Copies of this chain bind each other. A is one copy, B any other.
Amino acid sequence: MKLSNTNQRRIIIEELRKLDTHPTADELYIIVREKIPQISLGTVYRNLELLSKKGQILKLELTGKQKRFDGNIENHYHLRCTKCGRVVDIEIDDMLEIDKKLNELVDRLSLDGYRLELSGICEICKTEK
C-alpha cells in the first residue's frame, strides 16, 4: 500500500523530526495543532503507526503506559528518567562495544533484534537538584 502525500502527514513527520523529546501521540498532537488546528488525534495516531511501519520514524515501546515516537531512526540509545519520566538520548562510547556484542548474539541465534532501555536520573534532574 502506498502512502499519499497529505498535509497532515507531512506536518506530523516534520514536527516530530524537530524534536528530541520522544513525544507521545497526544503530545505531538498538541504541537501539530499549532499548524493544523482541525487535525484529529486519530490522524496523529494513524500516521505515527503507518510511518513507523514504513521505517520513517521509530515507535518506542518503553516502560510506561504510553508509546513514544522518535524522528531519529539512526541507531541510538535511550535513558528513561526515574524522576521526571523524560526519555532522553544517551551517547556513550561504550555503547558501541555493547551494541556489537548484542548484534553478534542476535546474528548467531538468528534473532530479529533487541531493545535496550537504560533507567536513572537524567541530566536535567541532576542539575536541578
Contacts and interface: CB of A to CB of B under 8 A. Distances in A.
Contact of A119 (B94, B97, B113): B113
A116 B119 contact: no
Nearest to A126: B110
A63 B59 CA distance: 11
Contacts of A118: 105-106, 109, 111, 113-114
26 contacts: A61-B62, A61-B63, A63-B115, A79-B111, A82-B112, A94-B104, A94-B105, A95-B105, A97-B101, A101-B101, A105-B118, A106-B120, A109-B118, A110-B120, A111-B119, A111-B121, A112-B119, A112-B120, A112-B121, A113-B118, A113-B119, A113-B120, A114-B116, A114-B117, A114-B119, A116-B117
A92 interface: yes
A82 B106 CA distance: 14
A12 B106 CA distance: 35
A1 interface: no
Interface in A65-82: 79, 82
